[in-house]
Structure 1
């Protein structure tokens, strides 16, 4: 027997309920993995509230690390006993043990702990596809400015470090002076407390009126329109989350009026569509973690039994770094 936390209907954190279940052997293309650490992400909130609907009932959680217990027919890149980590569909990481497709599960190097992997797989692969693949038409070169909202969260702190490693000047926004300092400590070139500063004016001052080539925004509704004003002509607005709510529809003419801007709504799982692309992205993430260019931002460690409270804390934007859940 194993257990998992699932929802039977969309709702608040109280909708998460523990259920007992039996697990058999993995089927073709599957593995059985025993989790040692589980990551908490805002996409889990979107699944719980129904913003991203799931067939119900459904366990939640997109990211974890642990030990492979068994492999199904056709799985050749993993063996029983391997340390492994993933950021993968379908949701179901809020469990002690699970069966899952093996395609997006990667062997975890010994140099990276289970907690570090759980704090950085989904978040680190998100940063990888944004900074390395989701690029403005003019590209990004060392010395270029970019704007990153919510930079003191788990994704943002990885982005601060990785951007510095690439020679980019990341302008961070966060909701307190303490969070701004955390972003600076992790490699941001500048930090703006959006609760008491006009981030558009500050970005223009920092860039001497030119604006940034790209804005990476997981906040959504609260920051979208003003972020467009931070972009230079031909700049890219890269939306990858909706923490404050979804962005309202816009007229394409707005992009023209603000300088022939580009707009994309990017998702990690489009990039993880094949075993080869997943492994290539993970290899790059594991390299920067192993060589110290990026440190996994493990924030708070909680038992999985406190997952509802962890959701409340995340939605209140009361977290810094990544919350890790231990089954």
Structure 2
């Protein structure tokens, strides 16, 4: 028996209950991991609330890090005792979990479990955003909404390392300091300023090559006014609610813009892509270009209060649960 967070009916943070469950032995191609640290992400909130469908009851959580304690038939890439990080839909908020072999990466010797647990979903999201969705290069001007959030802080650091001019938006002065430290050359307090007007002022009318938006409803369509002609609007999250349907002619009217709604699941669907992306992420973390921002670590039993803080946007960086 292992301790796990269970959701029997979707709803608020109180819908999550810590219970004892029994895990079956790993099947063919599967691996049983004892979790040492568990990553918390906004997508976990979407599942808990029922915005994303899941079988009932279910255990939330997508990413965790720990050690392999049992392998199923046919598993070749890892063995018992290996230190690993996993990224697989649901099952993460538990003392142990079963995942498919192709959703695991080996961790370098001594790599901290809490960093690994906080790194994969947010870090791989940043990886595909700056390396594939829009290939950021030296001299580009980019706008990062929620620049002090878990993904935002990584985006700012990685884009700075690539030579981009980073502009970030944040909600408080405390978060502005974090975004600046992470590499944002300019930070806009979106609650006090018209961010589109400030972007125009900062860039002297040149505007941005790309906008990375994990906020959604609250920042649209003003984000389009921050883009130069042929610029790209990348909507990768909806923390304030989803963007509603809009007239696609708006993109033509504002400069033949591109707009995309990518997801990590698509970019990392193939094992070879997942591994390549993870290696790229490990490289920039190990060489110091990117530091994974940890807001704090919390006992698994405190999962409800952790979700409340996350939804209230009171956090910066990543929150990690310790089983």
Report the count of equivalent residues: 323
Is the contact made by 1:88 and 1:269 (CA closer than 8 Å) also made in structure 2? no
- The alpha-carbon deviation at position 111 of structure 1 amounts to 4.5
Is the contact made by 1:172 and 1:183 (CA closer than 8 Å) also made in structure 2? yes
Is the contact made by 2:144 and 2:211 (CA closer than 8 Å) also made in structure 1? yes
Residue of structure 2 in register with 1:133 after alignment: 132
Cα distance in 2 between the residues matched to 1:33 and 1:197: 47
**In the alignment, is residue 149 of structure 1 matched against residue 145 of structure 2?**
yes
Residue of structure 2 in register with 1:65 after alignment: 65
Kindly report structure 1 stretches of 4+ aligned residues shifted beyond 6 Å.
none
**In the alignment, is residue 183 of structure 1 matched against residue 182 of structure 2?**
no
Residue of structure 1 in register with 2:112 after alignment: 113
- The alpha-carbon deviation at position 202 of structure 1 amounts to 1.0
Residue of structure 1 in register with 2:274 after alignment: 278
Cα distance in 1 between the residues matched to 2:8 and 2:22: 18
**In the alignment, is residue 86 of structure 1 matched against residue 86 of structure 2?**
yes
Cα distance in 2 between the residues matched to 1:56 and 1:234: 44
TM normalised by structure 2 equals: 0.98
Q: String of CA shifts for 1:281-317, please: whole Å, max 9, x gaps.
A: 0000001111111111011111011000000000000
**In the alignment, is residue 252 of structure 1 matched against residue 251 of structure 2?**
no
- The alpha-carbon deviation at position 72 of structure 1 amounts to 1.1
Is the contact made by 2:136 and 2:162 (CA closer than 8 Å) also made in structure 1? no
Cα distance in 2 between the residues matched to 1:166 and 1:87: 26
Cα distance in 2 between the residues matched to 1:190 and 1:163: 13
Is the contact made by 2:136 and 2:159 (CA closer than 8 Å) also made in structure 1? no
User: What's the secondary structure of 1:254's corresponding residue?
Assistant: helix
User: What's the secondary structure of 1:203's corresponding residue?
Assistant: helix
Change (3 A) 1:111 1:235: farther
Cα distance in 2 between the residues matched to 1:296 and 1:284: 14
Cα distance in 2 between the residues matched to 1:287 and 1:112: 12
Is the contact made by 2:88 and 2:99 (CA closer than 8 Å) also made in structure 1? no
Q: Which consecutive residues of structure 2, in runs of 5 or more, have no partner in the other structure?
A: none
Residue of structure 1 in register with 2:97 after alignment: 98
TM normalised by structure 1 equals: 0.97
Is the contact made by 1:10 and 1:50 (CA closer than 8 Å) also made in structure 2? yes
- The alpha-carbon deviation at position 112 of structure 1 amounts to 2.2
**In the alignment, is residue 210 of structure 1 matched against residue 210 of structure 2?**
no
**In the alignment, is residue 169 of structure 1 matched against residue 168 of structure 2?**
no
Is the contact made by 1:125 and 1:282 (CA closer than 8 Å) also made in structure 2? yes
- The alpha-carbon deviation at position 57 of structure 1 amounts to 1.2
**In the alignment, is residue 4 of structure 1 matched against residue 11 of structure 2?**
no
Residue of structure 2 in register with 1:33 after alignment: 33
